[in-house]
Amino acid sequence: MITIDFTGRTALVTGAGRGIGRAIALKLAGAGCNVAVNYCSDSDSAAKVRDEIETLFGKKAILVRADIRNYDEVKNMVQKTVEEFGTIDFLINNSGVTSVTGVENLVPEEWKRVLDVNLTGTFYCCRECIPVMKKNGGGRIVNISSAAALTGRGGGAHYAATKGGM
């Protein structure tokens, strides 16, 4: 088994309140990272992840609420993370949404919602974190995509477009 030591490093994980984001946040904490747990609407789930990180791994974790579709909220999320931890070493762009709707029934608002979260939000997070990482000697960005980027599926043109765009 390979062991990775990220002691003293800080990770910002978007969409960390559940699912893949939760698993990533816990793995990074297990490797020694302090973690900024981003969520958009479910503060209870995000708080559970924060508590798990602190209880299971003894690492510091903070909650950073931001709808990554909103550039000002992303700026505040990054600022709060840096104020708390001093830097961001890892940005994990995990937030994502989808729906299953054929193009003929896909309303423009749903197209925009999926693109804004999955693609524009990822750009916003990168744009704000890169200067912090450069200032502090570097960092790593991981964009979570999907096999849909290559294969797509019926009713998922908007989702596949965003994952391919990443």
Please report where in the chains the tokens 């602190």 appear, as a residue: 54
Q: Which of 39, 71, 124, 159 is catalytic?
A: 159
Phi/psi for 120 (5° steps) reads: -65, -40
What one-character-per-residue DSSP string does 87-129 give? --SEEEE---------GGG--HHHHHHHHIIIIIHHHHHHHHH
Give catalytic status of residue 159 as yes or no: yes
Helix axes 157-165, 108-115, angle to 10 degrees: 30
Q: Which residues are catalytic?
A: 159
